[in-house]
C-alpha cells in the first residue's frame, strides 16, 4: 500500500517535470507551427499560415538558411490549435516531445499564445508569434516567447492621435471590444489613448464574442459619438459595419483594428468599408528596405499576390518576418538543425540581440519592461480604406493620402 502511494506520488511528480527534449540529427530545420486552422478564428489562423508558408517557400527556393557556408532547408510541421487555448497547449506538447521541432512559429490569437507560452518555456523551445498582440503576453515575461507585431497598447494610441488631428476635431468617442484577449486589449488601448487625448468617452463596453451588437449600437447611437472604435476579429468587423448601417448611424470616424487591411474585408463589405480607419504597423506600400529575402514591402506584396492571389496584410507579413527573425538569429550563432538545449538558450540570447531591417520594417525585440520580447522596432500607422485600397493617413511622416473625414453617410454611398 505504502509502495503504491509512493509510486503514485512519483507519477504525479513526473507530470510536473518536463521531459528533456533530445536533439535529433538532421540536415534541415524542423519548425513547429501552432495556429488556428479550424474554429472561430480560422480566418486569422490561415492568414498566419500563409505568412509562415511564404517565408518557408522563399527560404527553400534559395536553397535554405545558410549557416557557415552550408544551406539547410526548412520544413514546417503544422498543428491545429482549433481556436482553443487548451488544444494549442496540447499541440505545443506534441510538436516538442514527439516531432522534436527545433523551434516554433506561434499562433494567430493572443488567447492561444498565452496558453502555448508556458509550454515552450517549460521545454525551453524558442517561439516567435507573428500575430498575437495582447499586452498580457509580454507582461508575463515568458523567456522563450517573442513577437514580431508590436502589442496593441504600443500601436493603438497612434490612430486615436491621428483622429484628434482631424478638422473639426472629434470630441466624443464610444469604444466597444469583443471579449477575447486581443480584442479586449484593443478596446482598452483605445480607451487609454482617448483619455490621454482628452476625448470624452461616452460608452465603453466589452461584449461576448460573436454576439449581435445591434441593441448596444442603438444605445450608442443615442449618445451621438463622433468616433466609434471597435476591437474585434474579421467576422465581427463585418457584422459591426452591417449593424451600424442597419441602424442608420454614421459616426464621423469608425476605427477598427485587426483585419480591415485584408482585401477580404474590403471585398466582404464593399462600399460600406470605404473610409473606415484602422491601426496597423505594415502595409504593402510601406517604405521599407531589406537585404533578407524580399527587398521591400512591395516585393513581398507581389510575392504574396502571386502565391495566394492576395497581397497579404500586416498579420501575414508579421508571420513571414517571424521566420526572418529566426533565420537571422540562427545565422548569428551558427546553429545547425537538431539543436540541443544549450544552443536553444544561445538562440534566445541571439534573438534578444538582433536588430534587422526586413521587408516588414525593423525587427528589434525589447529585452525589458512591459513590452518584453515584443518587437518595438516598428512605427505604428493609421490607415483608411479609400477607393478599395488601404492608404496610410498617419502619422504625418508616413502619409500616403489625406484622411477623409467625416465619413460619408451610409445611405448616400
Interface residues toward other proteins, by CB under 8 A: 38-40, 42-43, 45-46, 179, 205-208, 210-216, 218-219, 221-222, 234-235, 238-239, 242, 245-248, 264, 267-270, 411
Cβ closest to other proteins, residue 24 vs residue 267: 267
Phi, psi angle pair for 174, to nearest 5°:
-115, 130
CA quadruple 341, 343, 344, 349: dihedral sign: positive
Prior bond of 405 cis (ω within 30°): no
Smallest distance, Å, CB 138 to other proteins? Answer: 24
Would you call 236 exposed, middle or buried from its count of C-beta atoms within 10 A (0-12, 13-18, 19+)? buried
Q: Please report how close the Cβ of residue 237 comes to other proteins at its closest, in angstroms.
A: 8
DSSP state of 178: E
**Which contiguous run of DSSP H or E holds residue 358?**
strand 355-358
Q: Which residue has the cell 441602424?
A: 247
Pick the closer one to other proteins by CB: 28 or 308: 308
CA 315 to chain centre: 5
In the complex, minimum distance from the CB of residue 201 to other proteins, in angstroms, rounded to a whole number? 15
Nearer to other proteins, 216 or 399 (CB): 216
* Closest approach of other proteins to the CB of residue 215, in Å: 4
Minimum CB–partner distance for residue 144 and other proteins (Å): 29
Q: How far is the CB of 90 from other proteins (least distance, A)?
A: 18
- Return the number of the residue (226 or 235) whose C-beta is nearest other proteins: 235
Q: How far is the CB of 107 from other proteins (least distance, A)?
A: 15
Tell the burial category of 307 from Cβ atoms under 10 Å away from its Cβ (0-12, 13-18, 19+): middle
DSSP 24: -
Closer to other proteins by Cβ: residue 133 or 234 = 234
Query: Residue 1 carries which DSSP code?
Result: -
Pick from 324, 344, 329: nearest CA to 126: 344
DSSP-derived letter for residue 365 is: B
Show the DSSP H helices in 62-101 as ranges.
85-97
Nearer residue to other proteins within complex by CB, 231 or 361:
231
Cβ-based nearer residue to other proteins, 27 or 246: 246
Amino acid at each position: 500500500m505504502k509502495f503504491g502511494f509512493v509510486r503514485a506520488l512519483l507519477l504525479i511528480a513526473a507530470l510536473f517535470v518536463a521531459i528533456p527534449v533530445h536533439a535529433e540529427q538532421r540536415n534541415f530545420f524542423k519548425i513547429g507551427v501552432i495556429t488556428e486552422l479550424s474554429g472561430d478564428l480560422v480566418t486569422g489562423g490561415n492568414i498566419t499560415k500563409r505568412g509562415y508558408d511564404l517565408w518557408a517557400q522563399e527560404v527553400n527556393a534559395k536553397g535554405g538558411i545558410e549557416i557557415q557556408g552550408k544551406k539547410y532547408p526548412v520544413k514546417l510541421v503544422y498543428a491545429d490549435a482549433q481556436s482553443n487555448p487548451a488544444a494549442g497547449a496540447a499541440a505545443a506538447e506534441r510538436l516538442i516531445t514527439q516531432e522534436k521541432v527545433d523551434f516554433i512559429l506561434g499562433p494567430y490569437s493572443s488567447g492561444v499564445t498565452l496558453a502555448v507560452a508556458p509550454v515552450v518555456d517549460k521545454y525551453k523551445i524558442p517561439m516567435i508569434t507573428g500575430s498575437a498582440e495582447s499586452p498580457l503576453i509580454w507582461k508575463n515575461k515568458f523567456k522563450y516567447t517573442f513577437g514580431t507585431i508590436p502589442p496593441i497598447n504600443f500601436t493603438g494610441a497612434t490612430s486615436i492621435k491621428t483622429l484628434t488631428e482631424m478638422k473639426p476635431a472629434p470630441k466624443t468617442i464610444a469604444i466597444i471590444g469583443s471579449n477575447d484577449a486581443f480584442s479586449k486589449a484593443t478596446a482598452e488601448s483605445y480607451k487609454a489613448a482617448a483619455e490621454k487625448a482628452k476625448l470624452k468617452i461616452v460608452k465603453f463596453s466589452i461584449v461576448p464574442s460573436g454576439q449581435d451588437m445591434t441593441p448596444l449600437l442603438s444605445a450608442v447611437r443615442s449618445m451621438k459619438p463622433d468616433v466609434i472604435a471597435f476591437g474585434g476579429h474579421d467576422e465581427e468587423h463585418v457584422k459591426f459595419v452591417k449593424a451600424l448601417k442597419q441602424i442608420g448611424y454614421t459616426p464621423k470616424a469608425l476605427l477598427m483594428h485587426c483585419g480591415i487591411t485584408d482585401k477580404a474585408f474590403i471585398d466582404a463589405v464593399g462600399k460600406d468599408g470605404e473610409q473606415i480607419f484602422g491601426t496597423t504597423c505594415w502595409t504593402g506600400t510601406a517604405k521599407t528596405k531589406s537585404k533578407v529575402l524580399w527587398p521591400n514591402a512591395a516585393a513581398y506584396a507581389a510575392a504574396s499576390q502571386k502565391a495566394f492571389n492576395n497581397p497579404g496584410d500586416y498579420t501575414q507579413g508579421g508571420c513571414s518576418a517571424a521566420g526572418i527573425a529566426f533565420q537571422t538569429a540562427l545565422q548569428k550563432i551558427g546553429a545547425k538543425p537538431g539543436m540541443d538545449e544549450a544552443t536553444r538558450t544561445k538562440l534566445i540570447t541571439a534573438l534578444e540581440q538582433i536588430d534587422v531591417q526586413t521587408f516588414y520594417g525593423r525587427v528589434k525585440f525589447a529585452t525589458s519592461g512591459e513590452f518584453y520580447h515584443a518587437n518595438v522596432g516598428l512605427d505604428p500607422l493609421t490607415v483608411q480604406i479609400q477607393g478599395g485600397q488601404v492608404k496610410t493617413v498617419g502619422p504625418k511622416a508616413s502619409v500616403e493620402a489625406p484622411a477623409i473625414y467625416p465619413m460619408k453617410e451610409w445611405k448616400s454611398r
